[in-house]
Structure 1
Amino acid sequence: MPERVHDALAEHGLRAAYDARPAHQRNDYIGWILRARSEDTRLLRLQQMLSELARGDCYMNMAWRPRTPQ
């Protein structure tokens, strides 16, 4: 995990929310942030990820609900 993402998750208290997401979502977020061409876009994507993790009901601008154990 890039240091910037690690630090942002810690600063916002969202590491547990990030870790609770499925592995494919965690990987998608990191890749999506890193693939941005400009620093401004990387920052916007990081902020979107943080916002979605804080809300807990969204993944890449799509509705998402965590699975509940059966």
Structure 2
Amino acid sequence: MDTSRLKRKINPMPKDVEERLVGENLMEAYRKRPPYQQNDYLGWILQAKKPETREKRIAQMLEELRSGDKYMGMDYRAKR
């Protein structure tokens, strides 16, 4: 992720999230998202206080990457 232009805190990729992205063949879809979206997803997941909330957020991210038309619950269309 090219985060050089982001002005916010850069969030690290947790190992379990990376494993889920790879295991569900969604890493490429994740990498195609703009750096701010990649970073926002990770920050959102990392801020969860309860394990069940964290899991719910990971599942939502995976589903949004799978469908390709959502970002954090909002409509999203990739630039071509």
Question: TM-score of the superposition, structure 2-length normalised?
Answer: 0.84
RMSD over equivalenced CA pairs, Å: 0.4
Equivalenced residues, count:
68
Aligned identity (percent) is 47
More helix by share: 1
Structure 1: runs of 5 or more not aligned: none
Q: Does 1:51 align with 2:66?
A: no
Q: Corresponding residue for 2:50? A: 38
Moved over 3 A (4+): none
Structure 2: runs of 5 or more not aligned: 1-12
Q: Which whole-Å CA distance do the structure 2 matches of 1:57 and 1:64 have between them?
A: 5
Q: Corresponding residue for 1:15? A: 27
Q: Corresponding residue for 2:79? A: 67
